[in-house]
C-alpha cells in the first residue's frame, strides 16, 4: 500500500498532528512499508471462526452516586483552570 505525502497530510489532519515536509516524506515511506507488511490480513482466509469479529464482554455497575474526584484535584492537573472551568482559546468568533 503506497502512501503519498498528500495522504500523510490528510491523515495528520484527522489525527490532530502536524509534520514538516521532511517529516511527511519520512512518514510516507515508513507507513507504506508497514502497510505492505500488514496488507497480508486483507487476503487472509479466516474461515467460519473469523466470520464474527472479536468482541469483549463488559458489564455496567448500578447507577448510584458515589464519591468522585474533587474540582480541586481536577484543577491541579489542568494546564489552565479558572473559576471552576478549563480555560481554552476563544471558540466563538475565534476561528
Partner 1 sequence: MSDRASAEARSAESISRNVAGGSLRAEDLLDEVVSRIGASDPKLGAFVHFDPTEARGALERCPREGKLAGVPFAAKDNISTRGTLTTCASRILEGYRSPTDATVISRLAGAGAWVAGKTNLDEFAMGSSTEHSVFGPTSNPWDTSRVPGGSSGGSAAAVAAGIVPFALGSDTGGSVRQPASFCGVVGLKPTWGRVSRSGLVAFASSLDQIGVFSRSARDCARVLGVIAGHDPLDSTSSLEAVPDYEERLEQGLGGVRVGVVDGTWESLDAEMRSSFERSLGILRSLGATIDRVALPSLGLSIAVYYIVANAEASANLARFDGIRYGRRASGDLSLRETWVRSRTEGFGDEVKRRIMLGTFALSSGYYDAYYGRAQQVRAAISAEFRRAFEDVDLIAMPTTPSVAFRKGEKLDDPLAMYLSDVFTAPANLAGIPAISVPADVSAGGLPIGLQFLGPHFGESLLLRAARAMESEVSLPRIAPGF
Is the distance from CB of 35 to CB of 3 less than 8 angstroms?
Answer: yes
Q: CB 35 → partner 1: shortest distance, Å?
A: 8
**Backbone Cα Rg of the chain:** 23
The site string for partner 1 over 64-83 (x = CB under 8 A, - otherwise) reads -----x---xx-xxxxx---
Our separate counts of H helices and E strands in the chain read 3, 2
Quote the DSSP letter at residue 47: T
Residue that has been written with the C-alpha cell 464474527 in this structure: 52
Size of the site for partner 1 (CB under 8 A): 53
Q: Does 34 bind partner 1 (CB under 8 A)?
A: yes
Chain contacts with partner 1 (rule: CB under 8 A): 3, 7-8, 11-12, 14-19, 27, 30-31, 33-35, 37-42, 44, 46-47, 49-54, 56-61, 69, 73-74, 76-80, 86, 88-91, 94-95
Amino acid at each position: 500500500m503506497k502512501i503519498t505525502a498528500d495522504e500523510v497530510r490528510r491523515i495528520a489532519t484527522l489525527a490532530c498532528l502536524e509534520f514538516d515536509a521532511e517529516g511527511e516524506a519520512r512518514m510516507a515511506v515508513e507507513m507504506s512499508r508497514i502497510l505492505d507488511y500488514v496488507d497480508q490480513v486483507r487476503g487472509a482466509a479466516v474461515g467460519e471462526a473469523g466470520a464474527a469479529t472479536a468482541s469483549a464482554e463488559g458489564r455496567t455497575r448500578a447507577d448510584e452516586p458515589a464519591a468522585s474526584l474533587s474540582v480541586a484535584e481536577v484543577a491541579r492537573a489542568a494546564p489552565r483552570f479558572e473559576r471552576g472551568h478549563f480555560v481554552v482559546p476563544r471558540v466563538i468568533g475565534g476561528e
